């Protein structure tokens, strides 16, 4: 099972607990408990919001057809047309 904790959140939580301990030592334990309870949901939220890199083509990249097969370009145009037709049908309902 892969760990889902976001390292940036864990670092921020550790800094927050350390700062709380320095400013008000009696409040450090409750703050740590709350951050431990929130660590998984907040980490999952931050992980889902991260950009996934350049694995998906952007519209600008998709139009660069200089190195693709013409049959693939035609297939892409056909699929885009079908998608647009389905969107129009969906909006009418």
Give the model's pLDDT for residue 47.
Answer: 77
Domain limits of the chain? 7-49, 63-92
| Stated pTM of the model | 0.48
Q: Which residue has the tokens 């670092």?
A: 11
Give the model's pLDDT for residue 79.
Answer: 93
pLDDT tens-digit profile of 73-86? 889 999 999 998 89
Q: Output phi, psi for 55, to 5 deg.
A: -75, -25
pLDDT at 3 over 80: no
Helices 25-49, 7-23: inter-axial angle, 10-degree rounding: 160
Contact call for residues 73 and 30 (beta carbons, < 8 A): no
Contact call for residues 6 and 41 (beta carbons, < 8 A): no
Please report, rounded to a whole number, the percentage of residues in the chain having pLDDT higher than 90. Answer: 34
Structural tokens at position 37: 């309870």
Q: Which residue has the tokens 């740590």?
A: 32
Which residues have CB under 8 Å from 42's CB, separation 6+?
Answer: 6, 9
């Amino acid at each position: 099972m892969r760990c889902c904790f976001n390292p940036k959140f864990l670092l921020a939580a550790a800094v927050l607990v350390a700062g709380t301990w320095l400013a008000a030592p009696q409040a450090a334990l409750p703050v740590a408990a709350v951050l431990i309870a929130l660590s998984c949901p907040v980490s999952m939220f931050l992980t889902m919001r991260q950009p996934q890199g350049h694995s998906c083509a952007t519209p600008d990249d998709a139009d660069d057809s200089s190195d693709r097969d013409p049959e693939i370009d035609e297939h892409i145009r056909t699929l885009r047309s079908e998608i647009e037709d389905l969107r129009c049908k969906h909006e009418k309902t």
